[in-house]
Amino acid sequence: SVIERCTHVKLKSGKVVKMSEKMRAEILAKVSTMASKPLRTLALAVKTNLQSSIKSYRGGPNDVGGHPLLGNPSKFAVVESGLTLVGVAGIKDPARPEVAESIKTCTKAGIRVMMITGDAKDTAVAIARDVNIFSAEQVASGDFKAFEGREFFDMDEVEQLRILKSGNAVFCRTEPADKQKLVKMLQSLNEIPAMTGDGVNDAPALQQAAIGIAMGITGTEVAKEAADMVL
């Protein structure tokens, strides 16, 4: 994360000080609190001690790859390190008002809901609570299924299938291909999965699912073509 790559922090006074481990822990705790509201958090940082070769580089707007450190993604961490944290922004992006009641209706109909999102875990769990994917009691007690990044897919397959057999779940910080993997796993359990999506990367999962559902307004044409149903 950006905060992990920061070595300094800019205070309200404008003074730049070295980031201690205590300060880092306090910032991460604040970010976690913001995420649970839920807010999408965005860390803002700058790099003041750029290498002279990058400082003097004068490539055109479409020629950033001309510099050896900027043309190779595997070297980005070299540039994007030793940063100075200047702040953390919280973005409120609430679910539509009708979503929470729709999830209740799905539950009553025997439909299990699994949310796949790019959000951080704290944010995803808070949203899942607000829209009734998880109950407030589940979140308070920690009795819910939420997995971040490769956490779920690094598990043994038997454990993965056990988790998917019952209840709702949240998968966050996932890769596009993970959606199709989840659909295939559910099908192996004789479930009938319906997948919603709107992006180009959602197309494989929409095709794989028993019912692929694309968004009519925000959906890409690729997603609509791959889907069985367009809302």
End-to-end alpha carbon distance in the chain: 36
Residue 52: predicted pLDDT: 62
Q: What does the pLDDT read at residue 57?
A: 63
The tens digit of pLDDT for each residue in 10-65 reads 999 999 999 999 999 999 999 999 988 889 899 999 988 776 656 666 666 555 55
Give pLDDT tens digits for 129-140.
999 999 999 999
pLDDT at 49: 77
Q: pLDDT grade, residue 214 (50/70/90)?
A: very high
Query: What amino acid occupies position 32?
Result: S
Q: What is the pLDDT of residues 151-182, one digit of tens each?
A: 999 999 999 999 999 999 999 988 888 999 99
Say which range, 5-9, 21-25, 64-68, 186-190, has the weakest mean pLDDT.
64-68
